[in-house]
Structure 1
């Protein structure tokens, strides 16, 4: 398991402790940022899609803050950059 796969595993554990996840996908996009000044710190670049009922009634800023709060201990060492798509189950493309 490479270092970013381990980081993803630990992020998933922390997100599961806070949210009742309907869906979670964390992609490592670090390879797209090789040579970027922030990449030199060793933190990874990740793209996150999360679907959870806790986002009901929250705007995007509050949803992102909730995700950042859940992953706070990972910044800035493990995570340098994080792209977030946070949806409620009713907003999910998987809603049926």
Structure 2
């Protein structure tokens, strides 16, 4: 596989551990270089060689799915049942109900 940067100048296969450690260091100024190296060494020793998959966030429900959720909400199902069944938050459920069937 090529390790040349893509059209945006990004490495197509960045070292995810280095990316995470850089962000942690930026957010945690008290983390020393030695501590960061120790964390990196520990993680590489434990997980080195493993392929890691980082899933993207879940996609939003389609208009039809939102309408189905709205229809169920107008029935006798509890908020908890609906949020569990459809994998949405209560806030999303309330938004779908507020917007009505035309959402």
Point out which structure has higher relative CO (alpha carbons under 8 A, 6+ apart): 1
Q: Which has the higher helix share?
A: 2
Would you tell me which structure has more strand in proportion to its own residues?
A: 1
* Fold match (TM-score > 0.5): no
Q: Into which bin does the TM-score normalised by the smaller protein fall?
A: under 0.3
Specify the structure having the higher radius of gyration (Cα).
Answer: 2
TM-score, with structure 2 as normaliser? 0.25
